[in-house]
Structure 1
Amino acid sequence: MPVLTHRLARLDDLPDLRSLMQRAIEGLQRGYLTPAQIRTSHKVMGLDTQLVHDQSYFIVEREGRIAGCGGWSWRATLFGGDDSVVARAPAALDPTTDAARIRAMYTDPAFVRQGVGSAIIALCEGAARAHGFRRAEMMATLAGVPLYTAHGYRPIEPFTTDPIDGVTVPLIRMGKDLA
């Protein structure tokens, strides 16, 4: 199997990343969410370009093709993208008391179960540790819970989005010690 490579995302990657996210939400949430919840997910999930500007958003590639993406953050925002209806908080976190945020992880459906998600988690955790964080938290989709659990993340609390056009999306806040 060809090797996975990685790099930091650039602004010129944004159209490709948005396309990948669309495919991932549409393809990988089936079986976990209703069609209405999948449609609503596009209004709660997505690309937060602050992560690209902060140089904390990774792209994993296989043979030059983007296989997945994801990032970490030292900012308070737990989830939500540029175009989402979710409020974001750009305040800086304190690595001695706060948990780093694992954010916006997506795998292209053509590359699932090939180590892409695991590679992104390792990159994010390594970067968060290098910045002094001892814990990480994320807001996980139901489809992502098995991957995150396999990497040592544990549920903190279930979460449901506020209704959007009468539809809510279930998520799970998860955390892990990085020490």
Structure 2
Amino acid sequence: MTTDMNPTPYFIRHARPRDITAIRAMQARSMWTLGADFYSEAEIAGFMEAFGTMDDAIVLEGHCFLAEDAYGAILASGAWSRAKPGYAAGLPAKGHAGDMPTVRSVFVDPAVARCGVGTAIMLRVEQDAIAHSVLLLGLTATLSGVPLYQRLGYQVEEVTQILFPDQTRFGCVKMQKVLDRDAI
């Protein structure tokens, strides 16, 4: 069990298909609350409608993790996948989208934001990737997530935008990190 700077004890485990509804609810709270300083309501609504916060397939793939408190509340989520993310169709053609394993669906419940839970999830995601012989991870960060990823050593490749089907745009940052095999 881990606490970091958060007074609420939690543990990290694999996500299961029966968790999907609760994961999505936490992710939506996170997007609407933590994303509000970076995106307009219309941009968040457009993202949620066009792409949502998570493809069910990443849970089924087996590389999705949750931070859960003692009462079963989901505090954070994060995954990595070799599958191309649904939002990749809206990204410019260049870059890593779909070309390398990708960090996906990293969200933290606003009640525990900036308490170390997101970092703990990301470290677990990276450990799992390394255990599966992945040594380079890419990601497309929301603007609200960039500081976390930079603290964890992800390097900015490109500041870009996802193009929605209605031609509106959603700012994001493509990043990547070479993983340290000796870190596990």
Question: Which residue number corresponds to residue 19 of structure 2?
Answer: 13
- Specify whether residues 36 and 65 from structure 1 end up closer, same or farther in structure 2 by C-alpha distance, changes over 3 A only: same
Could you say which residue in structure 1 is the equivalent of 2:159?
A: 158
Residue type of the alignment partner of 1:6: I
Query: Post-superposition shift, 1:31?
Result: 1.3
What residue is the counterpart of 2:149 in the other structure? 148
> Equivalents in 1 of 2:158, 2:24: separation in Å?
28
How far has the Cα of 1:114 moved from its partner? 1.5
Report 1:63-142 matches (<5 A).
63=70, 64-75=72-83, 77=84, 79-80=85-86, 87=89, 99-142=100-143
Q: CA RMSD in A?
A: 1.8
Contact map agreement 1:11 1:52 (CA 8 A) in 2: yes
Aligned-residue offset at 1:100: 2.3
The residue that corresponds to 2:61 in the other structure is 54
Is the alpha carbon distance of 1:5 and 1:18 closer, same or farther for their aligned partners in structure 2, counting shifts above 3 Å? same
Are 2:10 and 1:4 equivalent residues in the alignment?
A: yes
Residues 26-35 or 163-172, more deviating: 163-172
Q: How many residues align?
A: 164
Give how far 1:166 is off.
4.3
Q: Counterparts of 2:163 and 2:176 in 1: how far apart (Å)?
A: 22
- Give the drift of 1:174: 0.4
The alpha carbon displacement at 1:86 in A equals 5.3
Q: Return the offset for 1:106.
A: 0.8
Please point out which of 28, 31, 41 is paired with 2:34: 28
Q: Is contact 1:70–1:106 with CA below 8 Å preserved after alignment? A: yes
Question: Separation in 1 of the partners of 2:178 and 2:149?
Answer: 13
* SS in structure 1 at match of 2:118: helix
SS of equivalent to 1:30? helix
Contact 1:58 1:120 in 2 (8 A): yes
Q: Which residue of 2 aligns with 1:95?
A: none
1:45–1:104 Cα contact (<8 Å) kept:
no
Deviation at 1:16, TM superposition (A): 0.6
TM-score of the aligned structures, taking structure 2 as reference length: 0.82
**Higher-helix-fraction structure:** 2
* Contact 1:47–1:104, Cα closer than 8 Å, also in 2: yes
Unaligned runs of 5+ in 1: 89-97
